[in-house]
Every structure is written in C-alpha cells, then in structure tokens.
Amino acid sequence: MKYRLYQIALIFVFFVAEIELVPLIRVSGNGPELLLLLPVFFGFFGGPVNGIFAGLLAGILADVYGGTLLGTSAFLFVCFGYMSGRLLENVEQEEFFFPMMLTFLSAFLYECAMWFVLFVLHNRIDAGFFFTRKILPVSLYTLVAGIALYFPVRYLDRKMRAAAGRGEKRNETNLS
C-alpha cells in the first residue's frame, strides 16, 4: 500500500513536470514524453503488474490534459508497462542498456500511434516530415530524458521498496 502511494506520488510529480517544465525545454516544438518513462521503468523494476498500474494512471493523466480521446494514451502506456515487465523479466536489475532500449522503442511506438490517430486517419500522411521532424526527435529526446532520470528513479524505487518491506522482488502478481 505504502509502495503504491509512492508510485502515485511519483506519477503526479512527473505529470506536473510534463506540463510545467517540458514547455520550457522544447526544441523546435518537440519535448520528451516524461509520463511514458514511468510504466517502462516500473515494469522493469517491479514486473508487469506494476508496469500496468503505472501505465493506466499515467496514461489517463496524459489523456486528460492532451488533445486525444480519453483512453488512447492509457491503452498504449498499459501495453508498454506490460511489455517492459514481460520482456525484461530475466534481465539483471543492474542492467542499463535494455530498459533504455525499451524506452526508446516505446516512445517511438507512441509517437507513431499519435501520428496515426491525429494525422493519418485524417488523410495527412506526409511520412517524411513526421518521421524526421516529429517522431524521431521526440523519441530521442525521451531517451535522453530517460537516461537522465533512470538512476534517480531507480535509487528512489529501491529506497521505497526497502521501506515498504517489499524486498527485491519483481514478479509480484498481487495488486495491493
């Protein structure tokens, strides 16, 4: 329970950073998708259930303040959280490369989905522009933000895990 509260608090902090800080560090209109980092990280640290939980919450927050239909980002974030939990199940907790790869992949898929929902469905394909000016820059920027935030989040996560008496376990399956 205590650990869940910590997760909710961290998601909220990332959400505030996303709407307050990211506009200040945008480069030619592209900023990192901070909220996307949490499902991937929590999925890696705590297994699929934690990833799904973070994905659902972060996704709904992103939808409520974004321009898309409620549930779109939540759906994708839940998938990323689950994917991260499942794919990285047997990866060492000290590993740095794999979670970062997954961060980039998730951001890339997320931007592609946004492009699809917002433009391709309205018959505005223009793939060259969107790939070089929107999708790739945002994915890379998210990766950079992920690299910068990975160690602080991991440090916090271990502290909170120890405080909540959860120990080093990642294939948790219960929701409490």
Partner 1 sequence: MKQRLKAFFTPVRIFALALFACIILALTSFFSGKVQEALRLGFDTVIVPMQKGINSLGGVFYDHAVNLAAREELESQVTDLTSQVEDLQAENQRLQQDAYELSRLRQLYALDEQYASWPKTAARVIGSGSDNWDMEFTIDKGSDDGMRVDMNVIAGNGLVGIITAVYPNRSVVRSIIEDNSYVSGMLASTGQICSVRGDISLMESGQIRVTDFSADTDAKAGDEIVTSNISDKYLQGILIGTVSEISSDGSQITKSGTITPAADFENLQEVLVITTTKADLTGDGS
Nearer to partner 1, 98 or 172 (CB): 172
- What is the crossing angle of helices 34-46 and 136-163, to 10°? 50
Residue 170 CB, nearest approach to partner 1 (Å): 11
Q: What is the largest CA-CA distance in the chain?
A: 52
Nearer to partner 1, 133 or 154 (CB): 133
Nearer to partner 1, 62 or 94 (CB): 62
Q: How many helices (H) and strands (E) does the chain have?
A: 7, 0
Residue 19 CB, nearest approach to partner 1 (Å): 5
Residue 162 CB, nearest approach to partner 1 (Å): 23
Nearer to partner 1, 32 or 99 (CB): 32
Which residues have C-beta within 8 Å of that of residue 52, sequence separation ≥ 6?
39, 43, 78, 81, 82, 85
Q: What residue ranges bind partner 1 (CB under 8 A)?
A: 16, 18-20, 22-23, 26, 28-31, 33, 47-49, 52, 55-56, 59-67, 69-72, 74-75, 78-79, 82, 85-86, 111, 114, 118-119, 122, 126, 129, 133-134, 138, 173-175
CB-based contact 77:55 (threshold 8 Å):
yes
CB-based contact 40:73 (threshold 8 Å):
no
Residue 172 CB, nearest approach to partner 1 (Å): 9
Residue 151 CB, nearest approach to partner 1 (Å): 25
Distance in angstroms (rounded) separating the CA atoms of residues 61 and 56: 9
